[in-house]
Chain A
């Protein structure tokens, strides 16, 4: 029969102060199948591990239970020890008598009897453990980076820099993302374009990076190391291989009054356009919905103006398929639809704008060439009111979270405004000032102390127009008094929200998301750049609101994960995967619908002559994450999870 070794760890005083380890050792020594039971102060220490190894060898143990802390802490430690002593590492179980016992109890007797129950139930489990071997999966060492903002660019550059191929997909005509729209960046006030453009150029020129702009990821199939992605290239109607980016076509285009998306509607663009002057690639696209030729069948002025025949009205969209080993999702964010704040008059009053508008007004390459002007009449505003948390931290408007960057950019806006407009007057309504970050608090202090930003703690209840002024009515909660400010312009620090199609896209590639649509990481603290789907990583604001430094840091972290994966040709995966019993599978496909990872397929069972006998479910071990959802569902118990078989779980429960 089984010969199990049980090792009771004191964890210093962590366990021993609440659990009577002597009693536990005695109880386990008397348990059927236990060959040896020891206690020690720290089994995770070197001498502790040595004790375990020696016991395995001396007693020919068939299984080991370490009664200590959470398996999250030391499962790997002891698995390694087992393997070194010649025992299959999956013949180990950790009985968590710390987090689940000593730490949560205050009565020693109760804690001790609970520790006994926990430990013996693991002993009963380990008796039924099977030797498992890691699964080897081949790895395609090419990465897909989805999203060409600063996060995506950084991740692509880091991965390519280490010599691995990258395909960078951006759905807009140019990479750059939101960062390219910004004027100066906090807390150093260096010009956003100036630091971004070199990166963009580096990316497009990198021999290992294929940049696919105006393209979207249609579909992702497969699993870690072995993804297949279909990428749809939208028709640009400009031959990228020919275009030199001279801009003649743009000059000649007769449709000139289209509000520019890049300029947040503050500027205009043509029907054939590049979103901004420094666009990468510097190749225009034709906006089919606005182009006269596409609408009326006549015009083609751009074609005529192009010296090198780069315009191609016949161009079709195409779908290309690539194999990838890893995917970095960097799809970024959007700003909240500010119309939810009807009381602030956004959309009603032209001079109520968002922070992003303000960025364009302040940008030297923007529609006003960097002059802060009112959109309504082009006058320079004397008094500007900034309203922070105009969307964030407001559950009634659907956003409970803090958008993290607004405190900083509002301070920056006030500062830029003062710099450009001496003697101007900025009033900032705020709830709290959150300026945790290197140089951040100093930055906000500077806005207040050096640049005269006037911070009013309180909420704004209403913005309305009176005599050509925007009257901002609110409360100064520090004074406890209502305030009214007559402003020339109001800037709303709107919330960062996920892309409107974030949830749909997550479903397409099979990753999880939270209630808003921000993508879920595998573990908030310990695995912040991985998703629960192995091989797919996250960076930037698609995961949660982030500023540039954080996005870039996370992008490098994601790249490090990808490179770690790419460091070997074969990937070893945990063998904790499900498998289907084909004789009893009834083929109802419940498991197929239940699987969060799309790891279960339909498989034909044929006789020797190839005639179809029946269809059964089949688990792809490469995709399976061992979550067990299918097991709990299967009515005929035809699926079992290696390492957590029903037999093991049943024995565990029965021993309680």
Chain B
């Protein structure tokens, strides 16, 4: 039995036993190479799940849908390691209760799919794996290329990209970490970020988002894939993540008991002006 069939029947069993109220996985997409999120509430619907190398989306983003988990019931979700990493971050930020999520874990290695063992978030110890995990070679190459630019060149590079931004906020909406009920761009007293998508307003938005994800990004690349105008957003987040690892030896999502790296006051803070 392949993993797809195994997970279909496992999802069906979870649903028919009533252990979970919903399974979030993948179904056929609108074209042969696309997969789309599929929500199964019955064992029959679970038979439509597809699991193959095209299932790259990070479905954990649906776990923070407002009201989804407020009834205390469980939801099962198909997740790759980056999705599991997101779940760790969401738990550490109190957006998820660990016992409400059943994980149907899988990994993609080239075109091969392997099942990950464990169903509870605590079954997955990602620690070292995440740290040693590097972005795909082409991303890394691009990141290095940008790194080598001088500041003026780098600014031009990002200016060209950000000026394309249409502020559709797809990057935000697909991101599991963007769970705020009111995003900073929707604050108008004061209007911190211009709503206009001119180059300045676009810079404001994209930089604010990069800061808000520093030390929280699970590097799933969803923002990058979602961007309809092809801004290489994951490069920004990759760089911020790297910065946080270097400065604080903190890798987001290693486990679910991390405290927010940029918001944990330590009594021995070298700056004495606060306390």
A residues near B (Cβ < 8 Å) are 503, 506-507, 510-515, 520, 532-533, 583-591, 593-597, 613-615, 627, 629, 633, 635-638, 646-647, 650-651
Across-interface contacts of B269 in A (CB, < 8 A): 512, 596
Known: A512-B275, A514-B272, A647-B189. A629 touches B265 (CB 8 A): yes
> Could you write out 14 A-B pairs with CB less than 8 Å apart?
A507-B267, A512-B274, A513-B267, A584-B180, A587-B95, A588-B179, A590-B260, A593-B263, A629-B265, A635-B180, A636-B181, A638-B182, A650-B191, A650-B192
B274 touching A635, Cβ below 8 Å: no
Across-interface contacts of A651 in B (CB, < 8 A): 190
B275 touching A596, Cβ below 8 Å: yes
A46 to B205, CA, bound (A): 50
B265 touching A588, Cβ below 8 Å: no
Known: A637-B184, A638-B182. A594 touches B264 (CB 8 A): yes
B265 touching A506, Cβ below 8 Å: no
A593 touching B260, Cβ below 8 Å: yes
A594 to B260, CA, bound (A): 9
Which 5 pairs show the lowest CB-CB distances between chains A and B?
A512-B275, A650-B190, A636-B180, A584-B182, A590-B263
Q: How far is the CB of A612 from chain B (nearest CB, A)?
A: 9
Closest to A597 in B: B275
Given pairs A511-B275, A635-B212, A636-B181, 15 additional interface contacts (CB within 8 A): A515-B270, A588-B260, A590-B93, A591-B263, A594-B264, A594-B265, A614-B70, A629-B274, A635-B184, A636-B180, A636-B183, A637-B182, A637-B187, A646-B189, A646-B190
Across-interface contacts of A595 in B (CB, < 8 A): 265
Across-interface contacts of B239 in A (CB, < 8 A): none
Across-interface contacts of B260 in A (CB, < 8 A): 588, 590, 593-594, 633
Known: A512-B275, A636-B180, A647-B190. A589 touches B94 (CB 8 A): yes
A636 touching B192, Cβ below 8 Å: no
Chain B residues 183 to 200 lying within 8 A of chain A, measured CB to CB, are: 183-184, 187, 189-192
Q: Mark B153-192, 1 if CB is under 8 A from A, else 0.
A: 0000000000000000000000000011111100101111
Known: A514-B272, A532-B274. A636 touches B265 (CB 8 A): no
A588 touching B268, Cβ below 8 Å: no
B181 touching A586, Cβ below 8 Å: yes
B275 touching A646, Cβ below 8 Å: no
A635 to B260, CA, bound (A): 12
A636 to B182, CA, bound (A): 6
Across-interface contacts of A520 in B (CB, < 8 A): 272, 275
Closest to B259 in A: A593
Among B179, B184, B190, residue most surrounded by chain A Cβ atoms (within 10 Å): B190
Across-interface contacts of B192 in A (CB, < 8 A): 637, 646, 650
A615 to B97, CA, bound (A): 13
A626 to B193, CA, bound (A): 25
Across-interface contacts of A514 in B (CB, < 8 A): 272
B274 touching A627, Cβ below 8 Å: yes
Q: How far is the CB of B208 from chain A (nearest CB, A)?
A: 9
Known: A584-B182, A588-B93. A593 touches B264 (CB 8 A): yes
Contact of B262 with A by CB under 8 A: yes
A586 touching B267, Cβ below 8 Å: no
Closest to B183 in A: A636
Q: How far is the CB of B270 from chain A (nearest CB, A)?
A: 8
B268 touching A503, Cβ below 8 Å: yes
Chain B residues 90 to 116 lying within 8 A of chain A, measured CB to CB, are: 93-95
B93 touching A589, Cβ below 8 Å: yes
A590 to B259, CA, bound (A): 8
A586 touching B180, Cβ below 8 Å: yes
A512 to B267, CA, bound (A): 6
Known: A512-B272, A650-B190. A593 touches B265 (CB 8 A): yes
Across-interface contacts of A613 in B (CB, < 8 A): 70
A646 to B184, CA, bound (A): 12
Among B95, B189, B263, B267, residue most surrounded by chain A Cβ atoms (within 10 Å): B263
A212 to B183, CA, bound (A): 53
A586 touching B265, Cβ below 8 Å: no
B268 touching A513, Cβ below 8 Å: yes
Closest to A591 in B: B263
A583 to B259, CA, bound (A): 24
Among A507, A512, A514, residue most surrounded by chain B Cβ atoms (within 10 Å): A512
Across-interface contacts of B275 in A (CB, < 8 A): 511-512, 520, 532-533, 596-597
Q: How far is the CB of B223 from chain A (nearest CB, A)?
A: 16
Across-interface contacts of B263 in A (CB, < 8 A): 590-591, 593-594, 633
A63 to B179, CA, bound (A): 39
Closest to A531 in B: B275
A507 to B268, CA, bound (A): 9
Q: How far is the CB of A509 from chain B (nearest CB, A)?
A: 10
Across-interface contacts of A513 in B (CB, < 8 A): 267-268
Q: How far is the CB of A654 from chain B (nearest CB, A)?
A: 8
A11 to B274, CA, bound (A): 30
Known: A512-B272, A586-B95, A589-B94. A633 touches B262 (CB 8 A): yes
Across-interface contacts of B212 in A (CB, < 8 A): 635
A627 to B273, CA, bound (A): 9
Across-interface contacts of A597 in B (CB, < 8 A): 275
Closest to B212 in A: A635
A586 to B264, CA, bound (A): 17
Closest to A520 in B: B272
A511 to B265, CA, bound (A): 12
Q: How far is the CB of B160 from chain A (nearest CB, A)?
A: 27
Across-interface contacts of A590 in B (CB, < 8 A): 93, 260, 263
A46 to B264, CA, bound (A): 47
Across-interface contacts of B187 in A (CB, < 8 A): 636-637, 646
A643 to B190, CA, bound (A): 15
B268 touching A586, Cβ below 8 Å: no
Q: How far is the CB of A624 from chain B (nearest CB, A)?
A: 13
A514 to B273, CA, bound (A): 11
A613 to B71, CA, bound (A): 10
Q: How far is the CB of A603 from chain B (nearest CB, A)?
A: 13
Across-interface contacts of B270 in A (CB, < 8 A): 515
Among A613, A615, A646, residue most surrounded by chain B Cβ atoms (within 10 Å): A646
Q: How far is the CB of A632 from chain B (nearest CB, A)?
A: 9
A584: contacting residue among B95, B181, B274, CB under 8 A = B181
Q: How far is the CB of B231 from chain A (nearest CB, A)?
A: 21
A636 touching B184, Cβ below 8 Å: yes
Known: A520-B272, A590-B93. A503 touches B181 (CB 8 A): no
A341 to B230, CA, bound (A): 64
Closest to A638 in B: B182
B94: contacting residue among A506, A584, A587, A637, CB under 8 A = A587
Q: How far is the CB of A94 from chain B (nearest CB, A)?
A: 19
Q: How far is the CB of A649 from chain B (nearest CB, A)?
A: 8
Closest to B275 in A: A512
Across-interface contacts of A503 in B (CB, < 8 A): 267-268
A470 to B133, CA, bound (A): 60
Q: How far is the CB of A106 from chain B (nearest CB, A)?
A: 28
Closest to A588 in B: B93
A514 to B265, CA, bound (A): 15
Across-interface contacts of A596 in B (CB, < 8 A): 265, 267, 269, 274-275
A278 to B268, CA, bound (A): 39
A651 to B190, CA, bound (A): 8
Among B192, B259, B267, B270, residue most surrounded by chain A Cβ atoms (within 10 Å): B267
A455 to B269, CA, bound (A): 41
A585 to B274, CA, bound (A): 24
Q: How far is the CB of A361 from chain B (nearest CB, A)?
A: 38
A512 to B270, CA, bound (A): 10
Closest to B189 in A: A647
Q: How far is the CB of B80 from chain A (nearest CB, A)?
A: 24
Q: How far is the CB of B70 from chain A (nearest CB, A)?
A: 8
A22 to B192, CA, bound (A): 35
Closest to B260 in A: A590
Closest to B272 in A: A520
Q: How far is the CB of A175 from chain B (nearest CB, A)?
A: 28
A468 to B270, CA, bound (A): 48
B179 touching A586, Cβ below 8 Å: yes
Across-interface contacts of A614 in B (CB, < 8 A): 70
